[in-house]
Structure 1
């Protein structure tokens, strides 16, 4: 876990760098590590705590610009984004995390701070541990968001503009038992139809995977295959490497349909997940309803096969040519027949 710069755009883009100061942010944050820092070499908070403990943790914030800065600091629990990476930008996670306690409960409400040009200040959060014990780790970050957006940037897409917002995420790890090792455990939840926004808005099958233990899953590789029946020909396959999952979190792993129309029917899902010495294999039958396929296909970017239409147009064109030839030939025949009839009726001289 490192101090990371997150450049927020519309649409959102994530950029991470292992430094306390990132170019463009205009401010820095530095952890003032206390005596109960577990990893003495870490530049983030990695604290050994006990149930019911109360202490202050301090962060040094410096404005690097010649303008006033207004920054909001959020104590956020880590979750796993649908890109398969840990993220820290949400204060209210709802269903994205099943951690026993959230940092927003332990470190309190978000705090606002105003920095004069080139000013440094110390921001203090009061940590209040629950009386109930927990296993593994509680993980997240103090997320410092610059409230001011940059100048508007035009894009080459009609009707879309971009505004930048910068944030720094200072990691927070809380642990009570530093001796016991908690093994990760993954399970597969719901399979649903959706759209893969990182694959040119292709129709996709989404598999919700959950890390059920209070430990991070690192260097995760996922391989998913969709077929009509178990062991039959693979219709769609996806392999993603170097993913990561936050403790007690879930995310939607997507297998895109390569911009083809989604078809209703019965299918089989086969997923292999590996992280170091750990391996999980999931097999499940699932159904895509006609209603769901229709809804997705209306929204998805689909490369449609128009061969049948060109063939139909070709057949219609040939029929049209034959019909024109027939009517022209018939008209010529009728005209000649009329002329012959009139010639026959003329009196001989």
Structure 2
């Protein structure tokens, strides 16, 4: 009998092989690259109208019709003459709850009346610096005549120009290059707070594929000219009329840029998305305020089919799985019955022998 137990275990392992799945790890984007690898560093030259001179980014007090030029030092620590791209980019909020200055192609939110790209522009889009030398990038600031409230936030991005950028001009693919971003805050009142907790709105729900994963994206809008920080965002997907969470997500220490959309995502995971009516239930909690959201949405058969087909991570159940399951059950039951019969016979045999 002892010899037959390992054989049974081996049979079950053959019928039910152990399968491992690799998880997709989404790394958050890093704006500032390692100095040694980049071969250069940058430094903001803070002007006289800098509100706080203890910080390393621009926080400028401006006025209607105000004009000025600010400088960014570029220190080339490499042994080669290098050319750097200079850009001004509106602040945005990514799906990880971070304020970024690298989404240059992203259209400003409809609540943003004055993007920083309309106020600040590079004097030259490229700057060349000799090896082991220092150069500068200049940003021209021209404030419109109409006054604005709150803050305008963006970033000055300095990145190393490479051969890939030439390919980009020809319509070819582009690889990431090393770069730095220096934040720029503009305000017309010195006591205007940078951070606040005035209002958040849920403007849209969109089931979609993002980086190969099936997600529900909830567009949470900050419609005011103030940034937000130290927020906790959480949400779940349930069948309409039910409470059990089919998928959920929670992010802590969330920051949201002024007048921007925070694309809060809930990953469906490995499960198949099925057509039907669902409800998104979410909330964002700050230090002083809390916002709750609840909205129904529908996934059509076509949407479900498309999401399940396009996902990078799919579970395929072989056709032989069900047959193997029943076969293993029959074998297990038969072996168990045989063992029981053997034990009963042995017990009766011992009793007769003792008599």
Is this a same-fold pair by TM over 0.5? yes
The equivalent residue for 2:116 is 103
Bigger mean CA deviation after superposition, 281-290 or 302-311: 302-311
The equivalent residue for 1:153 is none
For structure 2, the residue ranges without an aligned partner over 5 or more in a row are 1-25, 165-172, 328-355
Structure 1 274/58 Cα, relative in aligned 2: closer, same or farther at 3 Å? same
Alignment of 1:288-303 (within 5 A): 288-303=299-314
Aligned residues: 293
Which deviations, in whole Å up to 9, do the C-alpha atoms of 1:282-322 show, x marking residues without a partner? 01111111111111111113443627752246779xxxxxx
The equivalent residue for 1:113 is 127
Shift in Å at residue 183 of structure 1? Answer: 3.8
On the 8 A contact 1:73/1:144 being kept in 2, the answer is: yes
The equivalent residue for 1:130 is 144
Shift in Å at residue 240 of structure 1? Answer: 1.3
Please report the TM-score for the alignment, with normalisation by the length of structure 1: 0.76
Cα distance in 2 between the residues matched to 1:180 and 1:204: 37
User: Do residues 287 (structure 1) and 298 (structure 2) align?
Assistant: yes
Cα distance in 1 between the residues matched to 2:326 and 2:54: 75
Structure 1 191/278 Cα, relative in aligned 2: closer, same or farther at 3 Å? same
On the 8 A contact 1:99/1:138 being kept in 2, the answer is: no
Cα distance in 2 between the residues matched to 1:126 and 1:95: 21
User: Do residues 169 (structure 1) and 181 (structure 2) align?
Assistant: yes
For structure 1, the residue ranges without an aligned partner over 5 or more in a row are 1-10, 151-160, 317-349
Bigger mean CA deviation after superposition, 298-307 or 141-150: 298-307
Structure 1 260/314 Cα, relative in aligned 2: closer, same or farther at 3 Å? closer
Cα distance in 1 between the residues matched to 2:325 and 2:136: 76
Cα distance in 2 between the residues matched to 1:69 and 1:214: 37
Which deviations, in whole Å up to 9, do the C-alpha atoms of 1:253-291 show, x marking residues without a partner? 111111111111001110010122121100111111111
The equivalent residue for 1:304 is 315
Structure 1 162/49 Cα, relative in aligned 2: closer, same or farther at 3 Å? closer
On the 8 A contact 2:111/2:224 being kept in 1, the answer is: no
The equivalent residue for 1:14 is 29
Higher Rg of the two aligned structures:
1
Which deviations, in whole Å up to 9, do the C-alpha atoms of 1:210-240 show, x marking residues without a partner? 1111111112211101111355222211111
User: Do residues 249 (structure 1) and 260 (structure 2) align?
Assistant: yes
On the 8 A contact 1:260/1:302 being kept in 2, the answer is: no
On the 8 A contact 1:149/1:163 being kept in 2, the answer is: no
Cα distance in 1 between the residues matched to 2:309 and 2:202: 28
Shift in Å at residue 13 of structure 1? Answer: 6.1
Please report the TM-score for the alignment, with normalisation by the length of structure 2: 0.75
Alignment of 1:61-76 (within 5 A): 61-76=74-89
* Cα root mean square deviation, aligned: 2.9
